[in-house]
Each structure stands twice: as structure tokens, then as C-alpha cells.
Amino acid sequence: MFKVRTGAVVAAVLLALAACGGAEQTPDQPAAAGPRVLKLWHYEGADSAMGKAWAESIKQFEASHPGVTVKLEEKAFEQIRQSAGMILNSDEAPDVMEYNKGNATAGLLSKQGLLTDLSPEVTKRGWDKLLSPSLQTTAKYDERGVMGAGKWFGIPNYAEYVLVYYNKDLFEKEGIEVPTTFDEFTAAMETFAKAGTTPLAVGGAEYQAQQLLYQLALSKAQRPWVDALQLYKGKVDFKGPEFTYAADTFADWVKKGYIGKDSAAIKAEDMGVSFIGGKYPILVSGSWWYGRFATEIKDFEWGSFLWPGNTMSAGSSGNIWVVPENAKNKDLAYDFIDITMRKDIQNLLGNSGGIPVAADPAAITDPKSKELIENFNRLSTSDGLAFYPDWPAPGYYDVLVSGVQNLINGTKTPDQVLDEIAGPYNENLADIGN
Amino acid sequence: MKRSRRGGYWVFLLPSALLFTAVVVVPFLMNVGIGFTRWQGIGAPKWIGLDNYTRLLADERFWASFRNNVALIVAMAIIPTIIGLVLAATLFDHVGKKFGPRTAGALRAAYYLPQVLPVAVAGIVWGWIMHPRFGALNELLGLLGMEPRNWLGDPSWALPSVMAIMVWFQIGYPVVIFMAGLQRVDPALYEAAETDGASWWRRFWHITITQIRPEIYVVLLTCTIAALKVFGPIFVLTRGGPGGATLVPSYFSYQNFFEKANVGYGSAIATVLTLLIIMVTVFFLRIQDRES
């Protein structure tokens, strides 16, 4: 009885919906017949560099594909991160979507056969010619779902890296020049600390503090160490010189007052806002802050530079376009990706505060954006992108947050923290490919 | 004849029984099943028997999360019940009689407000209040000449801070329930006690508490369950940090389920939590039955 009633209601609602959306096509229609729809998902804000560039891409796509409409469904980063697997497993999958790069995300989905192998398209359309080797790492995954080799499952459209933002006014006030070596950098922080200012804005509750720790490890590291840690091409000694130096120095910086003793529970958002508010002279974080600083910092002059003395820095391609295995309009998806790689779209991305992967350097006119992109190119050409510390294992992010919080609060010695973060990494190593 | 009459009522239970099966029973059984597997959320689950449970029993973080949970039961069930009793009696007796029922009603609504606010909003505001450098709380303490503290970021203060916020969150609920309960109590009882010269405290202890005992059980039971399930405030305020100092089982389960792609392990934690909640519920209902 009850069941029959709901059935009738559902049917009535469906009829009503069908009456409203007469132009809506059934998704299973053959490709050639009638109007088509490209279902697109991404999670970039409309006023971000990517948001602007992709809005323009949609326009161009619709102009060059008469009879096709693009149905953009804006998602939240968290939404995609937590439920992508389940959605892609159903027939609700979009035709093309932005997805997080890395072993625990795109790698995992590729291993499960949920993503389309893009290799033939890559060769056909020459996307591989546009992407530098270190950008290609996050686009390819092997049969274990490990990045860096194997088939192409995604196409990065932009890039990102960790750099040093600084408040020019506060630097001038203390008479400090932009540091070019690590020693100068430390000396600058010492000057601020002596003057009673905590030099570094740190967010211990989220990603930022662990990236700072990683920058310190990278200052003592070579490429093989990164390959071992991130691509499992060898054994990583967590008590080796790289991590030991990082943990010891981090703890030392807390002691010296370069890192606030009260920064363990600060979220990234609050950290960024405090820099925007001129409360801290230095913020070490990703290029994703760039556009926001450009629009929101009004009261002082600011600039950015690469972490002094490092040949490598945390950074990688941005998130990638993937085409779900269950996508119904793969041909349209490839066309759309191709448009986002065009010079004019890439230039727009660069002039909007993003880091394009295939722009024309001469077309970037904004001086600040030029600086950001030039620094990125310097890293990229010297093979200096070292990915992110939380990538090697699923859920490693939380492990690192907890470890770095213990460093900030002094609840564990650097040595104990290294043990804390080594455990889950090695556990995951045993699971690779299972 | 009588039997067929009784049978007629079952029809009315059918819709909710169907819903209950679809929304609660089936997912719960699936969850129990997944708890015996190794699964990343996609692909085929791999049967591993009791491995998740043996791992759980040896997992220091799991036990730590339960210890923290006990603290939250104190903060969300026991303290609010005690404060709620005193507040309800005060509002009912003094404020209601001296200033009229309107004032009492307004105050009751004010106490209830935190229950109405979305957790996410309230949590973020509390995060600002407790910000170590720019927070209102430290400013206030500074004016009183006290040391600023890192309320949510210092491992020894994070849990007490969260507990204090949870008391604030919960307080309105017992007040409302107890005030409703007090409406039932026969005023003659109070009058007789007053004529015999019993003090306010004695009347509170012997009449108020004994008369609204059923409400007290209901509040304790529902708040204990809420405390065992607590997720939102932890997620918004501390994410279980710093260094696991405020980790609770529900957030721990979520972490494994969604962040670490250990769906099997997350399910096992959720199953243990569910069994615990069922045990607590049965325990409370037993006591209540015996009382009545």
C-alpha cells in the first residue's frame, strides 16, 4: 500500500519534471542524434585564475560545438575528495572533471579502472609536448596506481608551488634585504624575533606547517631522495640527514621564536588572513594564495621569492582533468581539455594570478604574475618540483598534521616525531599495489 | 476476535518498519559486513575476518579516542544535567514567580539558543574567541591581568576547552525538558513542604529531583548518546588535534573511512561505537524500568 503510494508520487513528480524540462535529452542517446550535453565538474572559485580561464574555455567550446551545451556543476573540493570513487562507480559520472592528483586520489581511481586511459589522445593532440617532465609525473600512473610512469590518466592545466611571501613594508622597517641564501633568511628571521615580532605566519592545524617542514628537508635532499619518498624508488630513512635536519631545525625555530609557540591549532585560512592583515612579515605557502593576496592586500607592499638556497621546493602540476571510464561523451571531453590547453586560455590563466603550463611568457603583462611564473619556470626547468609531503600514503596528511603539532607544542622530541611519521609511511609501503 | 483487532494495528507500523529497515537496519548490517573486509571504498572488498578488530584493540589512537569520549560524556551529559536542574528549578521557582512566566520563558529561550545555532557557525566563532593571539577570551583575561593561553592549540588545554564549549552547547536542552517536567509537579507538594519549614535546597532535593526523575533519565540517555556520536564540533574546532588530544571515535572512524581510504577499518570502529551506544541505551532503560 505504502509502496504503491510512493511509486505513484514519484511517477507524478517525474512526469512534472519531464514536462518542465522538455529540452532535456536522455543521456543514453547516441552521439550523433540531436543536441548533446557535456557534463563538467570542477571545484575552482569563479574568480580564481582557473575559474576565469575555464569559464572562457566553456564559451569557446560552445562556440565551436554548435548543438552542444556545457552543463557545469560546481562542486566543493571536499565533496570530490571524499565521494569521487563512489560517484564514478555509478552511472552519474560526469564527462570530464577536475580531480586531485596523486597516488591516493587519481592513482587509486586509475588502478580501479574508473578513469579513461588518455594516452592515445595525448599523442594525437600533442599534449605531452606542452607539459614539462615534472608536470607529467602527476598525469601518469602505473598499474599499482603509483604516479610517474605508465599510462596517462589526467591532464594538468595549471601548476602550483610553495614559495615565500613577504611584507615589504615590514622588511623595510627593519632594514632587511630580500634574502638570497638560507643564512640570510635565518638572519632576517632573527632580526624580527629580536625586535619582538614572530617572523613566520604558521598554520599548524592544516597543510602549511608540514610543507614548511618539507621545505627544510628538501634543503638537504637530492632528487633520488624525493623519488624514494614519493615514487617508492628506494628506501627512505626517516632518521636520515634530510628529515632529521628538518625536524631539528623546525623545533629550533619554535624555540627561537621564528615560529609561534601558539600556532598549533591555527587553520590555514586564519594564517592567510593574519598575513593579509600585516601581522606577520613572512608566510611560506603555496601559489594558490597569490590571487587572493593580489586582490585583498591593500595596506602594504608585498612580494614573493623562492625559498632561498633550495634547488627543490614543494610543488607539482595542479589538479588534473580526468575523463571517467563511464563518461558518455568522451569525444567532447577531449575537445574541451584541448581548449583549456590553448595559448590564449593559458595566457588568461597567467594574467589572472595562476601559473599556466603552456602559456606564452611574452603575453603575461602583470609584473607580479610575471615574477610568480618566472620563479615557477626556474624550478620547473631545473626539475625542482618535489610534490607534497602528504602524498605518499592515503591519510598521511593527518599523520603529518599531528606530528608537526607535536613539534610546535614541544610535546614530543624531533626524534619521537620522526618515529611518529615513519610508522604510517612504512605501513603503506607494505600495502602498495594491493 | 481480540487477536484480529490487535493485528489491525500492525498495518500502521508497516510504513515506519519499512523505512527503518531501509534507512537503519540494512546500512548497519552492510557496515558490519564491511568491517570484516579490507576495502578502499571502490573495487572489490577483500574478506579478512577479524583483522580489523584485532588491529583496533592494539591501536593506541582508538583507546585514546575513547578516553576523550568519556570526558565529553561528562561535558555533554553529566554537567549540563546538573546545571540544567539547578537552572530549571531557579527559573521555575524564583524567576517565574517573581518576574512572571514571560521572563522565565525568555531566559529559557536564551539558554536554548546554542542548540539552534548551526554547529559549523558556532564552532568557527568559538575558534575566533579562543584564538591564541587575537581572540576575545585572551583579551579579556589580559584585562584581568591573567596569562593568555593557547586554548585549542595546547594539548593540555584543548580537551578542557572543547568540554567547556560543549557545556555551552548542551545547557539549553535539559533546561527546557526539566522546566516542562516541573509543570507536572503538584504545587501542593511544595506548599506542604514549605509549611513544614523545609529549605529551598531540601525541597529541590526531595521534591523536584524525585518528581522529575523520568525527565532526568531521558536527558542523561539522549545526551550520552549525543556525546558518543559527537562529530561536528570536533571537526570544526580541532579536527582531533593537537596531536590527537581531542580525537573521538566518530571522527577517528570518519578519518579512516574518507581520508585514509581504510573503509573496512572505519566500519569496524563505527560498529564498535554502535554496539557501545546500544549497550548504554539498554543499561539506562533497565534502570528506568526498575525505578518505575
Residues B145-200 have pLDDT tens digits of 988 889 999 999 999 999 999 999 999 999 999 999 998 888 888 888 888 888 88
For residue B7, the model assigns a pLDDT of 65
Q: What is the residue-wise DSSP string for chain B?
A: -HHHHHHHHHHHHHHHHHHHIIIIIHHHHHHHHHTTEE--SSS--EE-TTHHHHHHHT-HHHHHHHHHHHHHHIIIIIHHHHHHHHHHHHIIIIIHHHH-HHHHHHHHHHHHHHHHS-HHHHHHHHHHHT-TTT-HHHHHHHHTTPPP--TTTSHHHHHHHHHHHHHHHHTHHHHHHHHHHHTTS-HHHHHHHHHTT--HHHHIIIIIHHHTHHHHHHHHHHHHHHHHH--HHHHHHTTT-STTTT--HHHHHHIIIIIS--HHHHHHHHHHHHHHHHHHHHHHHHHHHHH-
Question: Cβ contacts (< 8 Å) between A88 and chain B: which residues?
Answer: 42
Contact B267, B290 (CB under 8 A): no
For residue B74, the model assigns a pLDDT of 95
Chain B residue with CA closest to A263: the answer is B153
Using left for φ > 0, alpha for ψ between -120 and 50, and beta otherwise, residue A237 falls in beta
Residues B141-156 have pLDDT tens digits of 999 998 888 999 999 9
Residues B204-220 have pLDDT tens digits of 888 888 889 889 999 99
**How far does the CA of residue B102 sit from the closest CA of chain A (Å)?**
42
User: How many CB atoms within 10 Å of residue B285?
Assistant: 12
Out of B94-103, B127-136, B205-214, B242-251, least confident range? B94-103
Contact A313, A387 (CB under 8 A): no
How confident is the prediction for chain B on average, in pLDDT?
90
Who among A104, A398, A411 is closest to B155 (CB)?
A: A411
Assess A433–B contact: CB distance below 8 Å, yes or no. no
Chain B residue with CA closest to A86: the answer is B42
Residue B14 C-alpha cell reads as 508497516
For residue A425, the model assigns a pLDDT of 92
Question: Cβ contacts (< 8 Å) between B260 and chain A: which residues?
Answer: 394-395, 398
Q: CB distance A402–B243 less than 8 Å?
A: yes
CA distance B75 to B167: 6
Q: CB distance A205–B261 less than 8 Å?
A: no
Chain A residue with CA closest to B13: the answer is A2
CA distance A228 to A235: 6
For residue B2, the model assigns a pLDDT of 52
Return per-residue pLDDT of chain A as tens, 434 residues.
Answer: 334 344 444 344 333 433 443 333 444 444 455 689 999 999 888 878 899 999 999 999 999 999 999 999 888 877 787 778 778 877 888 999 999 898 878 988 898 889 999 999 999 999 999 998 889 999 999 998 899 999 999 999 999 999 999 999 999 999 999 999 999 999 999 999 999 999 999 999 999 999 999 999 999 999 999 999 999 999 999 999 999 999 999 999 999 999 999 999 999 999 999 999 999 999 999 998 998 898 899 999 999 999 999 999 999 999 999 999 989 999 999 999 999 999 999 999 999 889 999 888 889 888 888 889 999 988 988 889 999 999 888 788 889 999 999 999 999 999 999 999 999 999 888 877 54
Contact A143, A111 (CB under 8 A): yes
Q: CB distance A395–B150 less than 8 Å?
A: no
CA distance B140 to A16: 58
For residue A134, the model assigns a pLDDT of 83
Q: CB distance B243–A405 less than 8 Å?
A: yes
Residue type, A70: V
Assess B161–A contact: CB distance below 8 Å, yes or no. no
Contact A316, A100 (CB under 8 A): no
CA distance B55 to B266: 12
CA distance B46 to A307: 45
Q: Give the number of beta-carbon pairs within 8 Å between A and B.
A: 109
CA distance A64 to A261: 56
Cα distances from A217 to residues A15, A209, A235, B107, in angstroms, run 61, 13, 16, 57
Q: CB distance B261–A112 less than 8 Å?
A: no
For residue B250, the model assigns a pLDDT of 94
Q: List beta partners, residue A387.
A: A315
For residue A21, the model assigns a pLDDT of 38
CA distance A130 to B3: 80
Q: Which of A77, A207, A266, A421 is the best mutation test for B, with the most CBs of B within 10 A?
A: A266
Q: CB distance B153–A402 less than 8 Å?
A: no
Interface of B with A in 107-146 (CB under 8 A): 127, 131-134
For residue B3, the model assigns a pLDDT of 54
Torsion of CA B248, B250, B256, B259, to 10 degrees: -90
CA distance A99 to A84: 8
Question: Cβ contacts (< 8 Å) between B38 and chain A: which residues?
Answer: 434
Who among A114, A205, A264 is closest to B42 (CB)?
A: A114
Assess B162–A contact: CB distance below 8 Å, yes or no. no
Residues B29-71 have pLDDT tens digits of 999 999 999 888 777 888 999 999 999 999 988 999 999 999 9
Chain B residue with CA closest to A113: the answer is B43
Contact A320, A101 (CB under 8 A): yes
Question: Cβ contacts (< 8 Å) between A397 and chain B: which residues?
Answer: 259
Question: Cβ contacts (< 8 Å) between A115 and chain B: which residues?
Answer: none
Strand A158-167, strand A355-356: pairing? antiparallel
Who among B15, B152, B244 is closest to A265 (CB)?
A: B152
Assess A375–B contact: CB distance below 8 Å, yes or no. no
Who among B14, B241, B256 is closest to A265 (CB)?
A: B241
Percent of chain B with pLDDT strictly greater than 90: 60
Q: CB distance B243–A86 less than 8 Å?
A: no
For residue A196, the model assigns a pLDDT of 94
